Amino acid sequence: MILVTGASGTIGRSTIAALRQRSAPFKVGARALAKAKGLGFDAVEFDWDNPGTYEPALRGADHAFLLPPISDKQVEQGKAFVAAAKRAGVKHLVKLSVIGARFEPGIFLGRQHGEVEKVIEASGLGFTHLRPTFFMQNFVNYYGVDLSKAESTVYLPHGTGKASWVDARDVGEVAAVALTSTGHEGKAYDLTGGEALSDAEVTALFSKATGKKIAYVDVPEAAAREAMTKMQAPGWLIDGFMELHGLIKNGYSSAVADGVSKVTGKKPRTFAQYVDDVTNGRAS
Ligand SMILES: NC(=O)c1ccc[n+]([C@@H]2O[C@H](COP(=O)([O-])OP(=O)(O)OC[C@H]3O[C@@H](n4cnc5c(N)ncnc54)[C@H](OP(=O)(O)O)[C@@H]3O)[C@@H](O)[C@H]2O)c1
């Protein structure tokens, strides 16, 4: 039995689709229990903000997918989760982390993942760390590409920097393999797409596939900060996102890694494939 956290999110949905393809038994740990049950999941109560829910949710699972939402409490929650997993008799944790998680000094959002990776490694549990780069899905989920409108614009401080965007569906497939087969114990996989693209190149792909006007505007960093401040984002999150944007702008996110093909035996999906799929309702 596998416990999946974060099941309703971008990576969680892909992971579950891949687990279903493999007919693997799983249960979902969700804070919104009714919503998760409504989606047809075998769901148990699990709330990152309530550590008392961790162990009961983990009981009966031999594998668990640890997907932490973005938070400034990831390290304390991660530590409590690992301790609860040990008490509950879990054998193997697959941790959704991030590329560069162990870079020193790295960036805040990466360091948090890295700290939890270290806690898992010291715990004696079996583990596999998944370290994806930026998701292709961010453009539709967060960056402003709106496929329901005739025109949309992505305003980001990425300059002409390129990233080796990965399709969340590939990350989900890697997670499902690591959760259901042997040979991935003690491994860490960097997960990227097969090529690095700038935001202007990505929006051009969206424009071409949809026939709509989808543009990228490079904005000054101060303007990006101001926009997040107006949205009342907390300071740690604004600083964290600015560090992420800086990675792309300064060319630190363009490296291509072979984690997806190593684990799934398939080449990672291209951005053009993802754009085609999301435009035609085959991906979200
Ligand atoms: N976006 C990127 O480009 C990128 C790249 C690399 C790594 N990452 C990492 O990916 C992770 C985020 O993954 P994602 O984008 O798949 O997440 P997501 O789409 O934001 O979904 C978050 C998931 O966590 C659940 N959740 C939130 N708060 C919770 C709580 N208090 N208790 C229990 N469940 C809770 C949500 O459930 P509800 O339905 O209840 O809200 C949802 O299922 C982060 O750790 C981030 O650092 C992101």
Q: Is the CB–ligand 1 distance for residue 69 below 6 Å?
A: yes
Could you report the per-residue pLDDT of 251-283, keeping only the tens digit for each?
Answer: 999 999 999 999 999 999 999 999 999 999 999
Q: Is the pLDDT of residue 39 over 90?
A: no
Q: Is the CB–ligand 1 distance for residue 274 below 6 Å?
A: no
CA-closest residue to ligand 1 atom 28: 69
Task: Please give the Cα distance from 220 to 239 (Å, whole number).
Answer: 15
Q: What is the pTM of this model?
A: 0.98
Please tell me the predicted confidence (pLDDT) of residue 114. Answer: 98
For residue 219, give Cα distances in angstroms to 9, 145, 237, 246.
28, 16, 18, 12
* Helix (H), strand (E), coil (C) string for 207-229: HHHHCCEEEEEECCHHHHHHHHH
**Residue 188: band (very low, low, confident or very high) from pLDDT cuts 50, 70, 90:** very high
Residue 209 phi, psi (nearest 5): -70, -30
**What letter does residue 105 receive in the DSSP assignment?**
S
CA 6 – ligand 1 centroid, Å: 6
From the CA of 132, give the closest atom in ligand 1.
6
Please tell me the predicted confidence (pLDDT) of residue 1. Answer: 98
Please tell me the predicted confidence (pLDDT) of residue 21. Answer: 97
Which of 147, 172, 162, 150 lies closest to 198, judged by CA?
Answer: 162
- Asked whether the beta carbons of 67 and 13 are under 8 A apart, the reply is no
Query: Does an H or E element contain 87, and which?
Result: helix 74-88
CA 208 – ligand 1 centroid, Å: 30
Q: Which of 3, 70, 252 to mutate to test the pocket of ligand 1 (most atoms within 8 A of CB)?
A: 70
SS3 231: coil
Q: Is the CB–ligand 1 distance for residue 241 below 6 Å?
A: no
CA 8 – ligand 1 centroid, Å: 8
**Residue 77: band (very low, low, confident or very high) from pLDDT cuts 50, 70, 90:** very high
